Amino acid sequence: MLSGQLEKKGFFIATLITFWYSSNIGVLLLNKLLLSNYGFRFPIFLTMCHMTACAVLSYVSIVFLKIAPFQRIKSRSQFLRISTLSVVFCGSVVGGNISLRYLPVSFNQAVGATTPFFTALFAYLMTRKQEAWATYGCLVPVVTGVVIASGGEPSFHLYGFIMCIGATAARAFKSVLQGVLLSSEGEKLNSMNLLLYMSPIAVVVLLPAALVMEPNVIDVTATLATEHRYLGLLIVVNSAMAYGANLLNFLVTKHTSALTLQVLGNAKGAVAVVISILIFQNPVTFIGIAGYTMTVMGVVAYGESKRRHK
């Protein structure tokens, strides 16, 4: 009886992880496909579509499906903190999407793997939180690997690289800022409720930005939709998958642990790199692969060092 329950639980967790991998990598690949292959050059509008889907589906999941308990905002100051997080989050997603216009997914993932470096930097600057010197030492190959990968990247684009670095830094800044702004027990929100409140705020921020910076987005999208019959469907599926990635991130953490998610996340980047190279056939070099491998090894060592020195 017990072994049967364990088997069912193991199958359930394996299924969750499979869907989590599929949604995360699927969003990344579809973003690249839309922004580079279809002439749909509107990363701000695409991010707004993602946030709109997250707002609607978060409400349905929490209020109607009860996937997570509903948590109310308790004060104006808490709302302002969440709004600040939402703006930073917008910056990270838009920057990441812009970078995909110019960089291959493989290099995008290599740069994105430096998130622990920026997290450690912002944690020290904002909270004076220090790690062991051995832990900081593990960040050396993280940064060195990206420098090496940049030198060996045939499709290197400076603007795309700057946007990717900015997006990675903003993502790290958001995680540290979240810990600072929502640190009290009364103001902590689980990730699904935080997404529920952040998403509509993000839409309000992104809508005028899209209209000003991408003024012809509606006309061009309508024209492209007539040329590519599945473009509208791809945008809808892509937006739904963006929410699914967040939902599955929450469920995998709930049913396993944050450490498991971290390990799976490191592996996910490598899987995304391999799949993207197979699909988009972007050229890679031995130096680029060696640099990315060094970065991933540094990230793994950093995570292990943090765990040991807690």
pLDDT digits (tens, 9 = 90+) for 112-171: 999 999 999 999 998 888 888 888 999 999 999 999 999 889 999 999 999 999 999 999
Quickly count helices (H) and strands (E) in the chain.
Answer: 13, 0
**pLDDT category of residue 98 using cuts at 50, 70 and 90:** very high
Cα 37 from Cα 208, distance rounded (Å): 26
Arithmetic mean of pLDDT over the chain:
90
Cα 198 from Cα 75, distance rounded (Å): 15
Cα 100 from Cα 94, distance rounded (Å): 10
The pLDDT assigned to 267 comes to 82
The pLDDT assigned to 30 comes to 94
Instruction: Report the sign of the C-alpha dihedral through residues 168, 250, 256, 21, in that order.
Output: negative
Structure tokens given for 1: 């009886």
* Residue 212: Cβ within 10 Å count: 9
pLDDT in tens, 252-306: 888 887 667 777 787 888 889 899 999 988 888 999 999 999 998 999 898 888 8
Contacts 24+ apart (CB under 8 A), 256-261: 256/13, 259/303, 259/307
Report whether 104 contacts 276 (CB < 8 A). Answer: yes
Report whether 97 contacts 164 (CB < 8 A). Answer: no
Cα 226 from Cα 149, distance rounded (Å): 39
Contacts 24+ apart (CB under 8 A), 263-267: 263/303, 264/17, 264/20, 264/21, 266/113, 266/296, 266/299, 266/300, 266/303
Structure tokens given for 115: 């998130």
Report whether 108 contacts 167 (CB < 8 A). Answer: no
Which residues make Cβ contacts (< 8 Å) with residue 18, sequence separation at least 6? none
Higher per-residue confidence, 11 vs 62: 62
Report whether 114 contacts 143 (CB < 8 A). Answer: yes
The pLDDT assigned to 169 comes to 96
pLDDT in tens, 173-189: 999 998 888 877 777 88
pLDDT at residue 70 tops 80 = yes
The pLDDT assigned to 4 comes to 63
